[in-house]
A = this chain, B = another copy of it.
Amino acid sequence: TQKDHSDLASFQSERVCVFGTGDMGRSLGLRLLQAGYGVVFGSRRPHSSSSLIPHGAQVLGHAAASQSAHLIFIAVQREHYDFLVPLANQLKGKVLVDLSNNLRKNQYPEANAEYLQSLVPGAEVVKGFNTLSAWSLQNGPSDANRQVYICGESVEAKQAVIAVAIKLGFSALDQGFLSVARELEDFPLQLFPQWRLPLRIAIGLSAAFFFYLLIRDIIYAYVTQSKDISFRIMVSLANKVCPIVSLIMLSLCYLPGVLASFLQLYRGTKYRRFPDWLDRWMLCRKQLGLLALGFAFLHVLYTLIIPIRYYVRENRTTQFDTTTAWRGDSYLSLGILGFGLYVLLGITSLPSVINTLSWREFSFIQSKLGHLTLLLCTAHTYLYGWNRFLSSSTYKWYTPPGYMLCLVLPSVVLLLKLLLITPCVDRTITRIRQGWERGADQRNPKDSQPLIP
């Protein structure tokens, strides 16, 4: 216990300095205090600032404050960095952590951290913590933003920052030299980079099918029968576009996996990289799937309000026959079960749910249940078409209806998948995934380990 005591005493002396008493500086200071650090704020007007800073911290002039600690957090906007120039001498050998962010990308020719380094060449600048908000600093790290990215030239300086991060409850990742700073500064400014491609695909498909169906349904009726049914745009047309886009995007979500399997089969190895376009496609499968779910959700709502629209209700023939009833009920039932699985897939895409799944559980849901969903939704669409595939009146102006077009891709994906799960193909694929290579000398030990099998 003697030893414990002396260890504790050394803890107590750790002190860090924070320049800047804005939101960010104050939140960081509070958190540092709570983690057991001594905190000294540096301020231009130490007397007027002392009321602002968290209880337990000291506030001094910049020069005095910088003498009290080895590590200095710079929580000041870049425009005001020039106040550091006269302090260059005092800051020699200190670790300066640049927390700053910009308002937009490419606002300045060089990264803020590089600019800071050029102003105070004797100090060791580390970029870091800028991806956190004052809010998350105050309230503590949660799941995803537990990670703090840092970069800088000096390994020692980065180690000192990593040590502080760990004590604050974060986990710091060294991203390399100071030249990476620009990337880190762009990070909080990014707006859904992984969603862009899937969103563009969704918008493109929606627009294409909207105009296709506008011509086939509404303009056709106007031209051939002089009937104005333009009001159908709002619900009927929307309820055709939504399921079509949903089904196509769901199959786009499973197509790259199937293609990748065939590529591995053709190459006879898993040790060659996929082409870039396939890699990028595979990385946005989750987003494709979630957008597909969104369209399916709208389709469900648009379908369920049909009976409310009494003002356009047509007098359907109430002639009853068992075949029609079987077909209609199966069509509805498959749709409901498909949507149920769809929602299940969506829920298991939530970050906190994924985290509770083992690798095998995740792959079971996203692959097995995913393909089952695709199968149910495709069957649902085939039943919708039913015997109209063969009737010539379906092909107005010689064009097939939307649901036929949208069946092509899912049918192809399902057929390819069916091929892949035939025993002989499946065996080869499994062996390749376990590291087997066609034509390679199998006696050589491979320095490799599959992702958990």
Contacts and interface: CB of A to CB of B under 8 A. Distances in A.
Interface of A: 1, 3-5, 8-12, 19-25, 31, 33-36, 43-45, 49, 55-56, 69-70, 75-77, 79-80, 82-83, 99-103, 130-131, 133-135, 140-147, 155-160, 162-163, 166-169, 171-176, 187-192, 228, 230-236, 238, 294, 297-298, 300-313, 316, 318, 320, 322, 324-326, 328-330, 332-333, 336-337, 339-340, 343-344, 350-353, 355-356, 358-361, 364, 434-435, 444-453
Contacts of A176: 55-56
Contact of A99 (B44, B56, B449): B449
Contacts of A344: 294
A146 B169 contact: yes
25 contacts: A4-B160, A5-B156, A8-B156, A8-B160, A22-B449, A22-B450, A25-B448, A36-B159, A77-B449, A83-B445, A133-B359, A133-B451, A141-B146, A141-B171, A142-B351, A143-B143, A143-B356, A188-B359, A192-B364, A301-B339, A302-B333, A303-B305, A303-B308, A308-B332, A311-B325
Given A77-B450, A100-B449, A355-B143, A364 B191 contact: yes
B35 A449 contact: no
Contacts of A336: 298, 301-302, 305
A135 to B, nearest CB: 7
Number of copies: 3
Contacts of A163: 11
B452 A101 contact: yes
Contact of A351 (B19, B36, B304, B356): B356
Contacts of A301: 300, 336, 339-340
Nearest to A143: B355
A358 to B, nearest CB: 5
Nearest to A56: B176
Given A340-B294, A350-B352, A322 B234 contact: no
Contact of A23 (B1, B33, B451): B451
Contact of A451 (B24, B308, B318, B332): B24
A85 to B, nearest CB: 12
Contacts of A162: 35-36, 167
A229 to B, nearest CB: 8
A145 to B, nearest CB: 6
Nearest to A22: B448
Contacts of A35: 162, 172-174
B355 A351 contact: yes
B20 A447 contact: yes
Contact of A231 (B10, B135, B325): B325
A355 B311 contact: no
B318 A310 contact: yes
B355 A145 contact: yes
What is the predominant secondary structure among interface residues of chain A facing chain B?
A: helix
Contacts of A174: 33-36
B191 A360 contact: yes
A332 B169 contact: no
Given A171-B169, A326-B234, A350-B353, A360 B189 contact: yes
Contact of A333 (B147, B234, B444): B234
A112 to B, nearest CB: 11
Contacts of A173: 31, 34-35, 140
Contacts of A43: 447
A303 B333 CA distance: 11
Contacts of A171: 140-141, 168-169
A234 to B, nearest CB: 4
Nearest to A33: B174
Contact of A140 (B25, B44, B147, B306): B147
Nearest to A270: B23
A264 to B, nearest CB: 14
A289 to B, nearest CB: 14
B167 A23 contact: no
Shortest beta-carbon contacts, A-B, top 5? A169-B171, A22-B448, A352-B352, A234-B329, A80-B445
Contacts of A140: 146-147, 171, 173
Contact of A235 (B1, B190, B333, B352): B333
Contacts of A352: 143-144, 350-353, 355
